[in-house]
């Protein structure tokens, strides 16, 4: 009854004042809610960062120390050598079957290790055959499968942090063993799968939030006392080396055209790029783009996966070891196939 007859009992000016007071009260209430949400978000993000750091420190402290090898001499000549591998997608576990239910490709952390030691043995054979004393080792990115999509959770053996630490521990031991036979100059590039896509954001939003940074720091720290190991980090985050007076640039490979990319990178950095190397496509491919100049795609350690099958594109698991010579460019290429 009051509401129906309020115009008779209360002055309009008083009503307007009451309405304004109600609006002010609502605004204050919303301010408090927003402030609480921001505080909770800040607490949540800081707690997550602290947890990641704690997990990494705990995992590193549990790693076994490496046995440092004796110093190996470097014999300089007119040739340079580069071993390229990548797209390991460590942590994923699957089987791909063919028309007759045969296994086209199987992958797991154990198979990853088996393939890497197979790669190691084949590389040692090449080192002995070519009498290599210094080897550039380029890791082309996507060392882990990451969590880019929810359906990946069904195939992952480990969480992102645990998988990163396990991979870093393995690759440290692998590189340390390699330095018993040859001097290693190591570079790595981050991949799209190791990118942390937080808060549901699309790729590229957090370019510097990449678990490859963890791996880089762990390798650099654990092999810092190894006299036969040198780790290089280019400020661009890319791989860059001059081998036999040829500029070699390594990227993960998310470009539409390698042919255009080598020209674009040359203009961007005002430096002639003679050879552009990339992973990402999971198969080997090479194209001459000029005199002693090529664009080269590196095969993957993982080999065929569900995504490859969906595109009807398959290739062997493998890696590439290239030989360069002054005045001749790339003179030989070992296409290493892995079972």
- Give tens-digit pLDDT for 89-101: 998 999 999 999 9
pLDDT of residue 199: 43
Integer Cα distance of 248 and 265 in angstroms: 11
CB atoms within 10 A of CB 111: 18
54 and 76 part of one domain? no
30 and 174 part of one domain? no
Integer Cα distance of 283 and 313 in angstroms: 9
Integer Cα distance of 207 and 192 in angstroms: 9
Q: Which two tokens stand for residue 45?
A: 């993000």
Number of domains in the chain: 2
Sign of the CA dihedral 50, 55, 61, 65?
A: negative
Integer Cα distance of 133 and 122 in angstroms: 16
Residues spanned by the domain of 24: 1-62
20 and 147 part of one domain? no
Q: β-strand 275-278 against 293-297: which pairing, if any? A: parallel
84 and 48 part of one domain? no
DSSP conformational letter for 232: -
76 and 58 part of one domain? no
Q: Please check whether residue 241 is in contact with residue 136, taking contact to mean a CB–CB distance below 8 angstroms.
A: yes
Of 21, 44, 62, at which residue does a domain stop? Answer: 62
21 and 81 part of one domain? no
How big is the chain, counted in residues?
Answer: 339
Alpha helices in the chain (DSSP H): 6-9, 12-61, 109-130, 160-178, 212-222, 258-268, 306-310
In a domain, 67, yes or no: no
Q: Please check whether residue 283 is in contact with residue 334, taking contact to mean a CB–CB distance below 8 angstroms.
A: no
In a domain, 205, yes or no: yes
In a domain, 119, yes or no: yes
Burial string for 49-83 (b: 16+ CB within 10 Å, else e) reads eeebeebbeebbeeeeebeebeebeeeeeebbbbb
The domain that contains 282 carries what CATH number?
A: 3.60.21.10
28 and 85 part of one domain? no
pLDDT digits (tens, 9 = 90+) for 277-320: 999 989 899 999 999 999 999 999 999 988 788 878 789 999 99
Integer Cα distance of 250 and 253 in angstroms: 8
149 and 293 part of one domain? yes
Q: Which two tokens stand for residue 132?
A: 């290599």
Q: Which two tokens stand for residue 233?
A: 């980090």
In a domain, 88, yes or no: yes
Q: Please check whether residue 136 is in contact with residue 80, taking contact to mean a CB–CB distance below 8 angstroms.
A: yes
14 and 118 part of one domain? no
pLDDT in tens, the chain (339 residues): 667 766 665 566 766 777 788 888 888 887 777 777 766 666 665 566 566 666 666 766 677 788 889 999 999 889 999 999 999 999 899 999 999 999 999 999 999 999 999 999 999 999 999 999 999 999 999 998 765 555 555 567 787 778 888 999 999 999 999 999 999 999 999 887 667 654 455 555 445 567 888 899 889 989 999 999 999 999 999 999 999 999 999 999 989 999 999 999 999 999 999 999 999 989 899 999 999 999 999 999 999 988 788 878 789 999 999 999 999 999 999 999 998
In a domain, 315, yes or no: yes
Chain centre to alpha carbon of residue 109: 17
Burial string for 207-246 (b: 16+ CB within 10 Å, else e) reads eeebbbbbbbebbeebbeebebbebeeeeebebbbebbeb
255 and 280 part of one domain? yes
pLDDT of residue 198: 46
163 and 216 part of one domain? yes
DSSP characters over 144-174: B---SSGGGGGTBSS-HHHHHHHHHHHHHHH
Q: What angle do CA 144, 147, 149 make, to 5 degrees?
A: 135
pTM of the shown model? 0.78
115 and 12 part of one domain? no
pLDDT of residue 6: 62
Integer Cα distance of 286 and 295 in angstroms: 6
């Amino acid at each position: 009854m009051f509401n129906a007859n309020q115009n008779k009992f209360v002055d309009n000016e008083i009503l307007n004042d009451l309405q304004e007071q109600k609006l002010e009260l609502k605004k204050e209430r919303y301010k408090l809610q927003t402030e609480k949400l921001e505080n909770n978000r800040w607490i949540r993000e800081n707690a997550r960062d602290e947890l990641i750091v704690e997990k990494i420190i705990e995992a590193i402290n549990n790693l076994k120390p490496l046995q440092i090898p004796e110093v190996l001499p470097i014999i300089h000549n007119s040739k340079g050598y580069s071993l390229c591998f990548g797209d390991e997608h460590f942590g994923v576990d699957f089987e791909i079957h063919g028309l007759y239910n045969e296994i086209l490709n199987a992958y797991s952390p154990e198979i990853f290790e088996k393939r890497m030691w197979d790669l190691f043995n084949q590389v040692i054979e090449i080192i002995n055959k070519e009498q290599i004393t210094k080897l550039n080792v380029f890791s082309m990115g996507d060392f882990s499968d990451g969590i880019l999509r929810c359906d990946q959770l069904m195939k992952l053996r480990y969480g992102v942090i645990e998988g990163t630490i396990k991979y870093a521990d393995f690759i440290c031991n692998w590189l340390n063993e390699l330095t018993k036979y040859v001097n290693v100059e190591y570079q790595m590039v981050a991949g799209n799968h190791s990118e942390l896509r937080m808060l549901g954001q699309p790729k590229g939003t957090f370019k510097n939030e990449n678990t490859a940074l963890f791996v880089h720091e762990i390798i650099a720290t654990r092999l810092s006392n190894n006299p036969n190991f040198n780790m290089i980090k280019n400020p661009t985050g890319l791989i860059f080396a001059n081998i036999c007076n040829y500029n070699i640039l390594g990227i993960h490979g998310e470009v539409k055209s390698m042919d255009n990319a080598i020209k674009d990178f040359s203009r961007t950095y005002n430096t002639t790029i003679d050879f552009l190397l990339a992973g990402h496509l999971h198969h080997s491919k090479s194209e001459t783009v000029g005199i002693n100049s090529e664009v080269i795609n590196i095969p993957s350690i993982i080999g065929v996966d569900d995504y490859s099958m969906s595109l009807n594109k398959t290739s062997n698991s493998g890696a590439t070891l290239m030989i360069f010579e002054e005045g001749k460019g790339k003179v030989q290429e070992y296409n290493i196939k892995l079972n």
